[in-house]
Each structure stands twice: as C-alpha cells, then as structure tokens.
C-alpha cells in the first residue's frame, strides 16, 4: 500500500510482507513491538494493520550496521 503526502512517499507493509522481510514470526514481532524494540504498527481498521516500510528498513539497517562493527561480541 503506497501513500503520498506532499513530496513524501510512504509504503505500508502487510503482515505477510513484513514476515518475509524480517523473517520473524508475527508473535515475535509483537513481542519486540511491546518491548519498544521494533517499529510500531499502524492500525488501519478493525482487522488490518501495516508497518511503515522506511521504519522497518531503518531497523534492519541498524542490525546490519551492528553486524559489521569491529567490536561485535559473539
């Protein structure tokens, strides 16, 4: 789902798209959200939610940056 607000394009990811992108179960994603460790969902309706793609991609990038850091602990 794509939204355009002024000059800003914002894409929302469905649960299925999110799961394919981050490879976590919906339950684990919910736990991360509740702990403040994952971008919050946007409630679109009684049975529909989405995640802002740019926020999820930023979250993934931070994890990739940590992976590449020289002081990473195993």
- Cβ count near 24 (within 10 Å): 14
Q: How far apart are the first and last CA of the chain?
A: 38
Read off the pTM: 0.80
**CB of 55 within 8 A of CB of 6?**
no
Residue-wise pLDDT tens digits, 25-62: 999 999 999 999 999 999 999 999 999 999 999 999 99
Q: What's the rounded Cα separation, in Å, for the pair 45 and 53?
A: 18
């Amino acid at each position: 789902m794509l939204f355009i607000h002024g000059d800003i394009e914002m894409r929302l990811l469905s649960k299925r798209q999110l799961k394919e992108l981050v490879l976590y179960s919906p339950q684990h994603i919910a736990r991360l959200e509740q702990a403040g460790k994952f971008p919050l969902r946007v409630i679109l309706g009684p049975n529909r939610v989405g995640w802002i793609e740019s926020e999820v991609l930023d979250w993934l990038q931070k994890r990739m940056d940590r992976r590449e850091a020289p002081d990473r602990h195993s």
